[in-house]
Structure 1
Amino acid sequence: MKPATETVPLRDDAQDDRSQLIREALYNAIVERRLAPGTKLIETEVGELFDVSRTVVRAALQMLAFEGLVKIERNRGAFIAYPSPDEARQIFESRRVIEPEIAMRATERMAMADIDMFRSHLREEERLLAERGPNARRAAIKASGDFHLMLAAVAGNQILERFMRELIARSSLVIALYGQSGASSCARSEHADILGALIARDGKKAASTILHHIDHIEEDLDYRAAGNAPLRQALRL
């Protein structure tokens, strides 16, 4: 007689993989501004969307909370972080401290393969900015943030790269909440100016250009809130 079939629980590493997958989906939705600041993340709803337990969802939310992208409140649940004006200023102040150094380091380490990669990325940014429709706009927003993450990767410091990943995501929250124009946070010519300085091996110019670029992004903020999208729509499920 065959023994009764038992449900085998997920192993710890399988749970970690699922939690990381959910964390990545939520992260991308935040960066692309498909999930607005203040959106409530209901564990059961997220679990149903991904067909996982609340334990797996909770681990993903805790990862995002550690990165400052989600706020977990006792007896209320988890919410996409809703940065205050003061926190918004601190985020951009942090970028002004970190990104010029990243630009200087990237100038020293830039190889021809990196230049080709950046040029290809700028062409993709141009293509996305020229297209119409919400999907193209969201892709352009993500590509804009990816430029800064690519710069951090070329700089070769994994700690700085990790900081930048958090800062770019948190900047996206701030822009979603307070941005005036609704356009991509990065003017299309400014990334090209930064790349030009990198190609010229002019670290000081690269640093000053990126500072101007960050100033330009922050000038577009006026502290007005944006609306929320349904969770299923935001996660494209």
Structure 2
Amino acid sequence: MNIAEKDISAEQGQEDRAQSIRDALRDAIVDRRLTPGAKLSEAEVGSLFDVSRTVVRSVLQTLAYEGLVKIERNRGAFVSNPTPEDARQIFDSRRLIEPGIVRSAAARLTPIDIAALRLHLQQEAQFMNRRGPAARRGEIKASGDFHLMLAAHAGNAILEKFMDELVARSSLVIALYGRSGVSSCGHNEHGAVLDALEAGNADHACHLMLHHIDHIEADLDLRVQEGLTLKDALAL
């Protein structure tokens, strides 16, 4: 391997490491193991993952761009603390975007795709039969993943990326403000949307999706819980 190849390999390794750190922090934030307002010290994150502050800073900037972290000048980075108005705007955005995703997906879904989505709903249902914070976090994630799977089938990479951000922000809002988390009603609504898509009724699927988003938003309140330290949240 020549010098240029070594440099490319090292750069790729650093990018992969940054991505894994980003994923770990993102999951901890969305799962609400790191609560809104929690400080993300560059030194502590760097020590926990054994990387430089430069890598940590890049990761935190990426999370800030996604809306999950807020960087304050001379104070550092903190987990975003979405307000009720933030939550309203997030769900307003979803109401504007997801009907289009549903219509695009309806034109592209194959029987194999439908089967994969039904398998996912079976896995989602397993979390409903469990109790405890871990099961609740799993249910919230599985619910978001259903929407992301539909976005992936819509065939629009830009919309898919935007939905990834919206679902992440929604998951944080649900974990923070949700009275009951993602309920069995929400799971049943996923099934109804999929039934309509399988039947080729895109209009009805869109109507059901809008009802579903309304239902999720209606389950929100303003309660806040205390969370874990950075080290404990990442289980390192």
TM-score (norm 2): 0.91
1:211-222 alignment runs, 5 A limit: 211-222=210-221
Distance change (3 Å), C-alpha of 1:93 and 1:105 = same
Is 1:141 aligned to residue 140 of structure 2? yes
Residue in 1 that maps onto 2:22: 23
* SS of structure 1 residue aligned to 2:107: helix
Please, which moves more after superposition, 146-155 or 80-89?
80-89
Distance change (3 Å), C-alpha of 1:201 and 1:236 = farther
Q: What is the percent sequence identity of the aligned residues?
A: 61
Residue in 1 that maps onto 2:94: 95
**Distance in 2 between the 1:180 and 1:159 partners?**
32
**Distance in 2 between the 1:76 and 1:22 partners?**
21
**Distance in 1 between the 2:183 and 2:231 partners?**
23
| Runs of 5+ unmatched residues, structure 2 | 1-6
User: Between Structure 1 and Structure 2, how many residues are aligned?
Assistant: 229
| TM-aligned CA deviation for residue 184 of structure 1 | 5.0
1:63-82 alignment runs, 5 A limit: 63-82=62-81
Residue in 1 that maps onto 2:198: 199
Residue in 2 that maps onto 1:234: 233
**Distance in 2 between the 1:27 and 1:172 partners?**
11
**Distance in 2 between the 1:168 and 1:193 partners?**
20
Please, which moves more after superposition, 131-140 or 80-89?
131-140
Q: Deviations over 1:20-47 (max 9, x none)?
A: 1111111122222322221111111111
- Kept after mapping to 1: 8 A contact 2:38/2:78: yes
Residue in 2 that maps onto 1:11: 10
- Kept after mapping to 2: 8 A contact 1:40/1:78: yes
**Distance in 1 between the 2:68 and 2:104 partners?**
27
Residue in 1 that maps onto 2:4: none
- Kept after mapping to 1: 8 A contact 2:67/2:169: yes
Supply the AA of the counterpart residue of 1:94.
S
| TM-aligned CA deviation for residue 116 of structure 1 | 1.0
Runs of 4+ in 1 over 3 A off after TM superposition: 182-186
- Kept after mapping to 1: 8 A contact 2:32/2:176: no
Residue in 1 that maps onto 2:131: 132
Residue in 2 that maps onto 1:122: 121
Residue in 2 that maps onto 1:111: 110
RMSD: 1.8
